[in-house]
Structure 1
Amino acid sequence: MLIKIDDLRGPEVAQILTEHLTDMYAVSPPESVHALDLDKLRKPEITFWSVWDGNQLAGCGALKELDATHAEIKSMRTANAYRGKGVAVKIMEHILGVAAERNYQRLSLETGTQDFFIPARKLYERFGFEYCGPFGDYAEDPYSAFMTKTL
């Protein structure tokens, strides 16, 4: 599989992000959805990667710089056809490697508290993320789980 920085212009990326947002709105109230659309992912402080298996998009993930020492993981998504095949592990390893190269001291993320998000929370726990309070611009929300990892 190939992981590459993506310009967010391909139809495959638009499709996976549409699926991602659709799922988020299906399981969370609108005020508790923090997933980013294409335009918000194109901000200069965000690096977005796509994961490819040949010409098939297998997944994606992004890293948003909050400050010089702290970044947030965003838009982690595995294409339905690739669930359970290690795509999320590959993108997580890649993001952690880039975070280390950039000398971030901490990575944080927000995910959901509903059962739908159990696989995501287990992945993050596996990589050493621990539960914490809100960070950045987030506020307490019963639908949000906040996690962080010191690098």
Structure 2
Amino acid sequence: MQTSVIAPDDPRAPDVRQLLERHLALMNAQSPPEDVHALDVDGLVDPSVTFVSLRSEGVLLGVAALKQLDATHAEVKSMHTAEEARGRGVGRALLDHLLGLARERGLERVSLETGSQPGFAPARALYARAGFAECGPFAAYLPSPHSTFMTRVVDPRLAPAEDLVPTPPAPVAERA
């Protein structure tokens, strides 16, 4: 990757909005409507959400968000890498950045929901490499055969690489 910068961004910016529209279209193409949990622009400007982008030489390559669920728990939302930038480490850089934010905020756990379909396999692999393990539904999610729930512990006392030991899987809720 060339010089890249991860920084807070505005989901209403034209290039960001275009990438988010592609993200939502992809999610809707791969999952039934009731199992598309990606946030739209209004959801991403909520005060509980920290939205960031990764740009290289000013070009938008990816976006991600961290939604605060409570005082100790946050959720990864709206992770998306532009198709032309896939395989270049953009997703991992964004995920590491979100985990760093969680650590700085003293959070204990970060969770996420992603699809269980084959098209989501690269995302699940990325999350597993970053120490996430499957768990049951959290927050307001319901069990679904189209969703994979994952979580990991974040220890603010450790350096970023030290807490990457995968957490043992929590019991997975029975899938319908």
The TM-score bracket by the shorter chain reads over 0.9
1:21-60 alignment to 2 at 5 Å? 21-60=24-63
**Equivalent residue, structure 1, for 2:140:** 137
User: C-alpha separation between the residues in 2 aligned to 1:52 and 1:28?
Assistant: 28
SS, match of residue 95 in structure 2 = helix
SS, match of residue 67 in structure 1 = coil
User: C-alpha separation between the residues in 2 aligned to 1:12 and 1:53?
Assistant: 13
1:56-135 alignment to 2 at 5 Å? 56-135=59-138
Higher helix share: 1
SS, match of residue 100 in structure 2 = helix
User: C-alpha separation between the residues in 2 aligned to 1:27 and 1:108?
Assistant: 21
User: What TM-score do you get using the length of structure 2 for normalisation?
Assistant: 0.85
| Superposed CA offset, 1:59-84 (max 9, x none) | 01000000010000000000111000
User: C-alpha separation between the residues in 2 aligned to 1:26 and 1:89?
Assistant: 24
Structure 1 moving runs of 4+ over 2 Å: none
SS, match of residue 16 in structure 1 = helix
User: C-alpha separation between the residues in 1 aligned to 2:31 and 2:12?
Assistant: 27
Higher strand share: 1
The one-letter code of the counterpart of 1:50 is: S
User: C-alpha separation between the residues in 2 aligned to 1:24 and 1:89?
Assistant: 19
The one-letter code of the counterpart of 1:126 is: R
User: C-alpha separation between the residues in 2 aligned to 1:106 and 1:55?
Assistant: 32
RMSD of aligned residue pairs (Cα, Å): 0.6
Q: What is the Cα deviation at residue 54 of structure 1?
A: 1.2
Q: What is the Cα deviation at residue 15 of structure 1?
A: 0.6
User: C-alpha separation between the residues in 2 aligned to 1:124 and 1:2?
Assistant: 21
Q: What is the Cα deviation at residue 57 of structure 1?
A: 0.4
Stretches of structure 1 that go unaligned for 5 or more consecutive residues are: none
Q: What is the Cα deviation at residue 9 of structure 1?
A: 2.3
